[in-house]
């Protein structure tokens, strides 16, 4: 009988012990990669131990844009995912893709040979196995096949693979799938609601399972803590990604120190710094950050941040009209800043103007150079934490006997108690997004007598118009529209000489054009094409920049062309007229 | 025609009065309309009486490019000793306490030997301290315009597809072969 009871109890125990690790409650505690506890909690919020995977996206190196629909790889059977965010990568979100919630059709691929463990406690402990798996020929062949390309194309050196860790867990009773970046974006949407329940997984072990040791694809290397939970902004900027490349990157100059910034003269810019805190900074004692810029001070007050999070703090300021170096120091009344000083290099672009073109100029060996491609960031995001008080009035009674000689009982009881507000601060994250759109038009100058549409003879001038627009719902103190355009020309191999465009309209939208040309008889805002330029496309390249938000500078590569046919002499040739 | 019987004095008076009225009227009209009418009319009459030359020579106007100053008024302009401050958020905390609770009826407040106590803890009337808002909870479901929806605190009401997933097993020697990629 005892044996039967023992057997029944054993079966009950086996059935009752679920293969899950809870992560609710205090929101703290560390995840055990081996399947240990993630802290106490309730059944509504837990990680399904070992259920992880990766999202793989092919990214084109030339412009850092994704060129494949991301695929999710996992060893688990994930047929019960209730909520997910579709198939978008970290690069998609950086490029401005909308963050959306889906409640059906989560699709994934299950390799027949298991992936190595992706998410483990203590950061990227399993990174060697992960590297070996995703750098292997057979894995790459399978990935190429799934995304619909050839293995040879995938590894020809024009693309890189972006690998992002994916976690599968139950949140508020619903099973979800998300990358580290999506976890941070979702937490921002919930104003910290995910972090408060799943911090060990979503804000520590998931994002720290992969990060870059060298900057790549526009993402910086991460050298911060690998043993504590990270803020949403740190995750979005630095964590939850690995990159597989197929040829060594060309040697690049040493990365610019984060304590150095380059700005243009006479321009509105935004200098940002991140304030981090381990404990909450609430409105009872908000933080203040002060920027000291060349002897002047600008303070940002009333900064509030929930526990373990961060807030970007910025100053929008106008640079001087002359080139110089300015020291900017930052200090905070509480919390810790991501930087305490910045050396701002204020540069002037009003030099290296193309020389006066002459009739004797020649370039017989000219071949059309390829267009340059500078760093292009067309959208970014940031946000502001705020806090509202949620009152919870509690009556603290305090009875006293009040003597009264006129009373039969000699007095009465009186409660001198008081209401005490034992409420708490509720934090809300208001997210902002900005995207830069712009167009460029290159046309023959109005003074060109023989111009036909975009066609003109060489030797005449071209005019330019750049229109830029910053799409954002943020207050105007949060941004500037694009203010700087620099145009480069094919006859100078898109180097050496340039024209710093004049800002002709500024606001949410801006317009830029050539400044008056000192060699123009009519003082026109033109660039003169060289007389020797061969018939065909004459393409001008413009780098548009200085659209600032607290999330950084937005910039864009632009180009347009006119078609050269003949030259200016053919319009003005004087000679004897043939007899009829 | 019948001859008028007015005296010459009366005729004189009528002429003087009439002339005066006409003068006043003319003066009033002139003052009312001012010189603008004349000025406006001049080009029109000139244009109509002179031959047009615009059809012969077309000179496109030379656009004067005006350069806008970079910067907006909201940007801080550092100058020696300048100081400025701005608030990132607006902070407010309601401080009005609820009204003092009264002891429940029947409570004996006159027995010195027995300290009174509340049978139930006094509670603040939430409607006076915090407006009660009927907000859906995470996971609430409804049918809206014939569509099943589920509420998410971050996204609001979204279409409820009921969840699910579809996996495809891909056979192969995953992780095998030579190391082709580079992962720093």
Tokens 């040493």 belong to A254
Q: Tokens representing A448? A: 């060109």
What contacts B76, CB < 8 A, 6 or more positions away? A293, A296, A298, A315, A316, A317, A318, B82, B84
Mean pLDDT value of segment A281-298: 95
In chain A, whose CA is at the least distance from the CA of B99?
A: A419
Rg (C-alpha) for chain A, rounded Å, is 31
Q: Tokens representing A287? A: 């933080």
Q: How far is A450 from chain B (nearest CA, A)?
A: 14
Mean pLDDT value of segment B86-100: 82
Buried b (16+ CB within 10 A) or exposed e, A189-219: bbbbbbbbbbbbbbbbbbbbbbbbeeebbeb
Neighbours of A294 (CB within 10 A): 17
Residue A232's φ and ψ, nearest 5 degrees, are -55, -45
Q: Cα(A214)–Cα(B19) distance, rounded to whole angstroms?
A: 101
Q: In angstroms, how far is CA B105 from the centroid of its own chain?
A: 54
Where does the pLDDT of residue B67 fall: very low under 50, low under 70, confident under 90, or very high at 90 and above? Answer: low
Enumerate the residues of chain B whose CB falls inside 8 A of the CB of residue A81.
163-165
Enumerate the residues of chain A whose CB falls inside 8 A of the CB of residue B87.
300-302
Where does the pLDDT of residue B62 fall: very low under 50, low under 70, confident under 90, or very high at 90 and above? Answer: very low
Q: Is the separation of the CB atoms in A176 and A168 below 8 Å?
A: yes
Mean pLDDT value of segment A68-75: 97
Enumerate the residues of chain A whose CB falls inside 8 A of the CB of residue B177.
136-138, 141
Q: Is the separation of the CB atoms in A466 and A438 below 8 Å?
A: yes
DSSP letters of B8-69? HHHHHHHHHHHHHHHHHHHHHHHHHHTTHHHHHHHHHHHHHHSPP-TTT--------PPPPP
Q: What is the pLDDT of residues A438-447, one digit of tens each?
A: 999 999 999 9
User: Which member of A81, A136, A397 has the closest CB to residue B179?
Assistant: A136
- pLDDT of A152 reads 95
Q: Tokens representing B160? A: 């409820």
Mean pLDDT value of segment A397-425: 88
B184 and A243 within 8 Å at the Cβ level: the answer is yes
- pLDDT of A76 reads 95
Q: Cα(A187)–Cα(A171) distance, rounded to whole angstroms?
A: 12
**Residue B93 or A157, more confident:** A157
Asked if pLDDT for residue A191 goes beyond 60, the answer is yes
Where does the pLDDT of residue A454 fall: very low under 50, low under 70, confident under 90, or very high at 90 and above? Answer: very high
Enumerate the residues of chain A whose CB falls inside 8 A of the CB of residue B60.
446
Cite the beta strand spans of A357-493 per DSSP E. 379-390, 393-396, 399-403, 411-415, 418-421, 424-444, 455-458, 461-472, 484-488
Q: Does B48 touch chain A (CB under 8 A)?
A: no
B175 and A214 within 8 Å at the Cβ level: the answer is no
The maximal CA–CA distance of chain B, rounded, in angstroms, is 136
- pLDDT of B14 reads 58
Asked if pLDDT for residue A57 goes beyond 90, the answer is yes
Range with top average pLDDT, A118-132, A258-272, A487-501: A487-501
User: Which member of B87, B97, B162 has the closest CB to residue A301?
Assistant: B87
A105 and B161 within 8 Å at the Cβ level: the answer is yes
Q: What is the pLDDT of residues A90-121, one digit of tens each?
A: 999 988 889 999 999 999 999 999 999 999 86
Asked if pLDDT for residue A126 goes beyond 50, the answer is yes
- pLDDT of A123 reads 54
Mean pLDDT value of segment A360-372: 91
B65 and A516 within 8 Å at the Cβ level: the answer is yes
Q: Does A302 touch chain B (CB under 8 A)?
A: yes
Asked if pLDDT for residue A12 goes beyond 60, the answer is no
- Domain definitions of chain A by residue range: 50-244, 272-347, 385-427, 430-572
Q: Does B164 touch chain A (CB under 8 A)?
A: yes
Q: In which region does residue A496 sit, left (phi positive, over 0), alpha (psi from -120 to 50) or beta (all else)?
A: left
Asked if pLDDT for residue A379 goes beyond 70, the answer is yes
Q: Cα(A382)–Cα(A365) distance, rounded to whole angstroms?
A: 49
Residue length, chain A?
580
Question: What residues of chain A, 110 to 139, have a C-beta less than 8 Å from chain B?
Answer: 110-116, 130-139
Q: How far is A502 from chain B (nearest CA, A)?
A: 6
- pLDDT of A49 reads 78
Mean pLDDT value of segment A572-578: 68
Question: Which of A64, A69, A222 has the alpha carbon at shortest distance from B184?
Answer: A222
How would you classify the pairing of strands B165-170 and A106-111? Answer: parallel
**Residue B1 or A138, more confident:** A138
How would you classify the pairing of strands A159-171 and A46-60? Answer: antiparallel
Q: Does B184 touch chain A (CB under 8 A)?
A: yes
Enumerate the residues of chain B whose CB falls inside 8 A of the CB of residue A82.
162-163
Question: What residues of chain B, 118 to 137, have a C-beta less than 8 Å from chain A?
Answer: 118, 121-124, 129-130
Q: What is the pLDDT of residues B136-161, one digit of tens each?
A: 999 999 999 999 999 999 999 999 99
Please give the mean pLDDT across all residues of chain A: 88
Mean pLDDT value of segment A153-177: 95
Sign of the dihedral defined by the CA atoms of residues A523, A528, A531, A535, in that order: negative
B165 and A296 within 8 Å at the Cβ level: the answer is no
Distance between first and last Cα of chain A: 129
Range with top average pLDDT, A47-61, B29-43, B119-133: A47-61
B122 and A395 within 8 Å at the Cβ level: the answer is yes
Q: Cα(A547)–Cα(B158) distance, rounded to whole angstroms?
A: 34
Q: Cα(A465)–Cα(A540) distance, rounded to whole angstroms?
A: 12
Question: Which of A61, A71, A51 has the alpha carbon at shortest distance from A243?
Answer: A61
Q: How far is B58 from chain A (nearest CA, A)?
A: 12
pTM, to two decimals: 0.73
Question: Which of A196, A377, A346, A335 has the alpha carbon at shortest distance from A267?
Answer: A346
Q: Does A103 touch chain B (CB under 8 A)?
A: yes
Asked if pLDDT for residue A27 goes beyond 90, the answer is no
Residue A489's φ and ψ, nearest 5 degrees, are -130, 150
Asked if pLDDT for residue A15 goes beyond 50, the answer is no
Enumerate the residues of chain A whose CB falls inside 8 A of the CB of residue B104.
none
Mean pLDDT value of segment A407-433: 89
B72 and A507 within 8 Å at the Cβ level: the answer is yes
B165 and A105 within 8 Å at the Cβ level: the answer is yes
Enumerate the residues of chain A whose CB falls inside 8 A of the CB of residue B164.
79-81, 104-106
**Residue A405 or A180, more confident:** A180
Where does the pLDDT of residue A495 fall: very low under 50, low under 70, confident under 90, or very high at 90 and above? Answer: very high
Q: Cα(A52)–Cα(A72) distance, rounded to whole angstroms?
A: 10
Q: Does A389 touch chain B (CB under 8 A)?
A: yes
Q: What is the pLDDT of residues B10-28, one digit of tens each?
A: 556 656 655 655 544 444 4
Best mutation site among A76, A77, A393 for testing chain B: the one with the most B CBs within 10 Å?
Answer: A393
Q: Cα(B80)–Cα(A382) distance, rounded to whole angstroms?
A: 31
- pLDDT of A498 reads 97
B168 and A108 within 8 Å at the Cβ level: the answer is yes
- pLDDT of B58 reads 36
Best mutation site among A24, A194, A397 for testing chain B: the one with the most B CBs within 10 Å?
Answer: A397
A110 and B117 within 8 Å at the Cβ level: the answer is no
In chain A, whose CA is at the least distance from the CA of B77?
A: A318
Where does the pLDDT of residue A292 fall: very low under 50, low under 70, confident under 90, or very high at 90 and above? Answer: very high
Q: How far is B51 from chain A (nearest CA, A)?
A: 27
Q: What is the CATH number of domain A430-572?
A: 2.60.40
A136 and B62 within 8 Å at the Cβ level: the answer is no
Enumerate the residues of chain B whose CB falls inside 8 A of the CB of residue A407.
110
**Residue B7 or A329, more confident:** A329
Measured CA distances, A76 to A52, A143, A216, B141 (Å): 8, 18, 30, 28
Q: Cα(A209)–Cα(A238) distance, rounded to whole angstroms?
A: 12
Asked if pLDDT for residue A363 goes beyond 60, the answer is yes
A79 and B121 within 8 Å at the Cβ level: the answer is no
Q: Cα(A523)–Cα(A503) distance, rounded to whole angstroms?
A: 17
Best mutation site among B167, B172, B177, B178 for testing chain A: the one with the most A CBs within 10 Å?
Answer: B167
Q: How far is A495 from chain B (nearest CA, A)?
A: 25
- pLDDT of A139 reads 97
Mean pLDDT value of segment A226-245: 92
A302 and B79 within 8 Å at the Cβ level: the answer is no
User: Which member of B67, B86, B167 has the closest CB to residue A108?
Assistant: B167
Asked if pLDDT for residue A431 goes beyond 70, the answer is yes
Q: How far is A465 from chain B (nearest CA, A)?
A: 12
- pLDDT of A168 reads 96
Tokens 């301290």 belong to B129
Q: Tokens representing B41? A: 């009319």
Q: Is the separation of the CB atoms in A527 and A354 below 8 Å?
A: yes
Cα angle value A172/A177/A181 (rounded, 5°): 100
Where does the pLDDT of residue A36 fall: very low under 50, low under 70, confident under 90, or very high at 90 and above? Answer: very low
A to B CB pairs, distance under 8 Å: 329
Sign of the dihedral defined by the CA atoms of residues A221, A223, A226, A228, in that order: negative
Residue A201's φ and ψ, nearest 5 degrees, are -85, -60
Mean pLDDT value of segment B94-104: 71
Q: Does B73 touch chain A (CB under 8 A)?
A: no
């Amino acid at each position: 009988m005892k044996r039967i009871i023992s057997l029944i109890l054993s079966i009950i125990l086996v059935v009752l012990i679920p293969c899950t690790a809870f992560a609710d409650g205090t929101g703290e505690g560390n995840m055990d990669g081996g399947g240990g506890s993630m802290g106490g909690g309730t059944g509504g919020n837990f990680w399904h131990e070992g259920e992880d995977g990766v999202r793989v996206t092919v990214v084109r190196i030339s412009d850092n844009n994704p060129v494949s629909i991301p695929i999710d790889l996992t060893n688990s059977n994930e047929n019960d995912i209730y909520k997910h965010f579709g198939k978008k990568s970290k690069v998609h979100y950086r490029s401005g893709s909308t963050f959306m919630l889906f409640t059906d059709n989560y699709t994934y691929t299950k390799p027949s040979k298991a992936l190595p463990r992706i998410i483990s406690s203590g950061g990227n402990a399993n990174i060697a196995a992960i590297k070996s798996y995703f750098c292997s020929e057979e894995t790459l062949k399978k990935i190429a096949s799934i995304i619909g390309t050839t293995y040879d194309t995938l590894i020809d050196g024009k693309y890189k693979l972006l690998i992002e860790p994916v976690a599968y867990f139950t949140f508020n009773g619903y099973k979800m799938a998300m990358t580290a970046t999506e976890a941070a974006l979702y937490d921002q949407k919930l104003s910290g609601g995910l972090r408060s329940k799943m911090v060990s997984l979503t804000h520590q072990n998931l994002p720290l399972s992969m990060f870059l040791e060298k900057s790549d694809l526009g993402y910086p290397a991460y050298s911060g803590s690998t043993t504590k939970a990270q803020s949403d902004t740190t995750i979005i900027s630095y964590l939850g990604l690995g990159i597989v490349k197929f040829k060594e990157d060309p040697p690049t100059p040493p990365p610019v120190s984060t304590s150095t910034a380059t700005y243009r003269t006479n321009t509105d810019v935004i200098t940002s710094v991140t304030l981090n805190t381990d404990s909450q900074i609430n409105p009872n004692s908000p933080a203040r950050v002060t920027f000291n810029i060349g002897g002047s001070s600008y303070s940002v007050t009333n900064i509030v941040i929930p526990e373990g999070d961060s807030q970007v703090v910025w100053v929008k300021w106008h640079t001087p009209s002359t080139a110089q170096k300015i020291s900017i120091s930052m200090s905070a009344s509480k919390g810790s800043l991501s930087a305490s000083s910045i050396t701002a290099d204020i540069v002037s672009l009003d030099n290296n103007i193309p020389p006066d073109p002459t009739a004797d100029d020649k370039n017989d060996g000219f071949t059309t150079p390829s267009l340059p491609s500078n760093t292009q960031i067309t959208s970014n995001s940031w946000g502001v934490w705020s806090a509202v008080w949620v009152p919870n009035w509690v009556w603290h009674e305090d009875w006293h006997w009040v003597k009264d000689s006129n009373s039969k009982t000699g007095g009465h009881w009186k409660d001198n108690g008081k209401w005490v507000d034992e409420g708490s601060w509720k934090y809300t994250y208001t997210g902002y997004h900005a995207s830069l759109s712009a167009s460029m038009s290159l046309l023959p100058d109005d003074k060109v007598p023989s111009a036909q549409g975009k066609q003109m003879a060489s030797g005449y001038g071209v005019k330019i118009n750049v229109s830029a627009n910053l799409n954002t719902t943020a207050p105007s103190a949060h941004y500037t529209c694009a203010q700087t355009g620099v145009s480069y020309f094919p006859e100078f191999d898109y180097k050496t000489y340039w024209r710093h465009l004049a800002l002709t309209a500024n606001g949410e939208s801006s317009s830029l054009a050539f400044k008056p040309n000192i060699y123009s008889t009519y003082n026109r805002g033109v660039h003169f094409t060289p007389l020797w330029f061969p018939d065909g496309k004459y393409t001008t390249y413009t780098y548009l920049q200085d659209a600032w938000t607290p999330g950084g500078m937005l910039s864009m590569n632009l180009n347009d062309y006119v078609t050269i046919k003949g030259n200016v002499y053919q319009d003005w040739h004087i000679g004897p007229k043939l007899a009829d | 025609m019948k001859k008028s019987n007015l005296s010459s004095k009366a005729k004189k008076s009528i002429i003087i009065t009439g002339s005066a009225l006409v003068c006043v009227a003319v003066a009033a009209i002139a003052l009312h309309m001012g010189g603008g009418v004349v000025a406006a009319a001049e080009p029109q009459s000139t244009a109509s009486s002179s031959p047009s030359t615009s059809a012969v020579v077309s000179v496109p106007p030379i656009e004067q490019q005006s350069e806008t100053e970079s910067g907006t008024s909201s940007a801080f302009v550092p100058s020696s000793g300048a100081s400025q401050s701005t608030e990132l958020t607006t902070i407010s905390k309601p401080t009005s306490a609820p009204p003092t609770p009264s002891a429940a009826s029947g409570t004996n407040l006159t027995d010195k030997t027995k300290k009174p106590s509340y049978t139930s803890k006094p509670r603040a009337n939430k409607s006076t301290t915090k407006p009660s808002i009927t907000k859906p909870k995470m996971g609430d479901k409804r049918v809206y315009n014939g569509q099943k929806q589920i509420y998410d605190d971050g996204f609001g009401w979204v279409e409820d597809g009921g969840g699910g997933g579809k996996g495809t097993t891909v056979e192969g020697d995953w992780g095998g072969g030579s190391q082709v990629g580079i992962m720093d």
